[in-house]
Structure 1
Amino acid sequence: MILKGFKFGMLLQLAIGPVCVFIFQMAALKGFYTGEMGALGVTLIDGLFIIVAILGIASIIDRENIKVCLKIFGALVLVVFGISTILDQFHIIFLPSLGIYNIPSSSGVFTRAIIITVSNPLTIIFWAGIFSTKLSEENIRKQDICLFGFGALLSTIFFLTLIALIGSFAKAFLSINIIQILNIIVGFLLICFGIRMFFKKV
C-alpha cells in the first residue's frame, strides 16, 4: 500500500502547482538546503491534511459557506505572494515581511512554504474522497489507508527534493538578470494560481 500511495502521489505531483514553483524559486535563489527546508514545510502540512482526512474531520469543512471562505482565503494568499514577488524585483516594497530577498534564514522559507500549502485547505476534502473511495471500492482496512497516505506523503518530499536539487543547480548557471526574470514569472504564476482558485467551483 505504501508503494501504491507513492505512485498515486507522484501522479499528483506532476500537476505543477504554486508549491512546486515556490520551492524551485527558493532553491534557485538561496541553494538546495533552503529549498529543502521549504519542502519539509510543505510535507508537514500535507501530512496534517492527510491525517485530518483519514480521521474523517473533512466533513466539518465540506460545507458550502466554509469552502467558499477557504477558497477566497487561499486565492488571496497566492495573489499577495505573487504581487510581492514581482514588485520585489523592481525594489518596490509591497509587504516587507514577504520580500523574497529579505528572508533572513531557511526557517523563513519553511514558514512561507507552510503558509502557501495551508492556502489550499480544501485538499483535505480531496484526500477524504480518495480514502473513502479506497475503503468502499477496494474494501481495504483503515490500516492500509494509513499506509497509502504515508506513501503519498513520501512522494511529496521525494518530488520536492528533486525540484530543490534542480533549482540549486540552476542557481549555479543562471545570471542575476535571468533569476530576476524567473522571479517575475514565478510571481505571475502565483497570481494565476490564485485567480484560478478563486473562480474554481467548490
Structure 2
Amino acid sequence: MVKVFLKGLTTGLILQIAIGPIFFYLVNITLQKTLMDGLFAVFAVTIVDYLYILLAIAGVGKILEKEKTKEILGLVSSVILILFGLYMAISTANMINTDLTMISQSQTIFTSFISAFILTISSPLTIVFWTGVFAAKSIEYSFTKKQLLVFGLSAGLATLLFLGSSILVLTVFKTSIPLTVVRAANLVVGLVLILYGIIRAIKISRMVAASIISTPEKNECG
C-alpha cells in the first residue's frame, strides 16, 4: 500500500505542475490578506478535490461524460469564472485608496474559504478528468478498488502539499512586495479568470453549434 500511496502522491504532484486559475486566485488571496486566509483557501480547494476524486472513483464521471451534460456544466463554470474575474477587476478600483491592513480586516477567513470553495467546485468536469486518470492508472498498475482509493487519497494530498507550500513561501516574501504590485496582481488574476472563462465558453459554444449542425445531417442519412 505504501507504493500505491507514493504513486498517487507522485501523480498528484506532477498534475499540480499544470498551474491554472485556481492557483493564481489563491496567490492573490495571500497577497491581499493573511497567511491564514491563504491556507483556509487551500483547505477549501483540497476538500473539493477530494470530493471530486471520491465521486470519480464511485463512477459518477461516467454520467458526466455525456456530451449534453458536459456542455451545460462547462458553460455554467465558464460564467462563474467570468463573474469572479469581473468582481476582482472591479475590486481593484476600490483598492486605490486602501492599504493591505484595511483589506485584511474587511473580509474574514470564512470569506476566503467560501470564495475558493465556490470557484473550485464550479468545475465539476474535474470529475471526468480524475475518472480518466484513475482508469489509466488502474489498467497500468492493475489496482484493486481498495488500492485505487488509496491512490486517489494520496493524489488529493498533493493539492494540499503543493498549494500549501506555495502559500507559505509567498508569505515569506510578502512583506517586500509593494502595494502597487498587489493591486496589479489583483487586476491580472481577474483578467486571467475572465479570459479563461470566455475561451472555455467559446469552445463549448462551438461544440454545441457543431453538434446542432451534425444532427440534421445524421437524420438525413438515416
User: What is the TM-score of this pair, normalised by structure 2?
Assistant: 0.82
Q: Distance between the aligned counterparts of 1:41 and 1:49, measured in 2?
A: 13
Q: Percent identity?
A: 31
Separation of aligned partners in 1, 2:78 and 2:106: 22
The equivalent of 1:97 in structure 2 is none
Query: 1:136, CA displacement in angstroms?
Result: 2.7
Alignment of 1:7-86 (within 5 A): 7-86=10-89
AA in 1 matched with 2:45: V
1:116 aligns with 2:119: yes
Which structure 1 segments of 5+ residues have no match? 93-99
Deviations 1:33-81 (A, max 9, x none): 1100000000000000000000112122221111101101111111111
The aligned counterpart of 2:179 is 176
Quote the residue 1:152 is aligned against: 155
Correspondence for 1:133:
136
Matched residue type, 2:193: L
AA partner of residue 14 (structure 1): I
How far apart are the structure 1 equivalents of 2:203 and 2:126? 13
- The alignment partner of 1:89 has SS state of helix
For residue 211 of structure 2, what is the aligned residue in structure 1? none
The answer on 1:104 being equivalent to 2:107 is: yes
Normalising to structure 1: TM-score of the pair?
0.90
Q: 1:187/1:71 Cα in 2 relative to 1: closer, same or farther (>3 Å)?
A: same
Distance of aligned partners of 1:108 and 1:9 in 2 relative to their CA distance in 1, 3 Å threshold? same
Instruction: After TM superposition, give the deviation of residue 140 of structure 1 in Å.
Output: 1.6
User: Does the CA contact (< 8 Å) of 1:27 and 1:168 recur in 2?
Assistant: yes
Which amino acid is the alignment partner of residue 91 of structure 2?
D
Instruction: Give the partner amino acid of 2:180.
Output: N
CA contact (8 A) 1:25 1:167 kept: no
Mean CA deviation greater in 103-112 or 71-80: 103-112
* Corresponding residue for residue 96 of structure 1: none
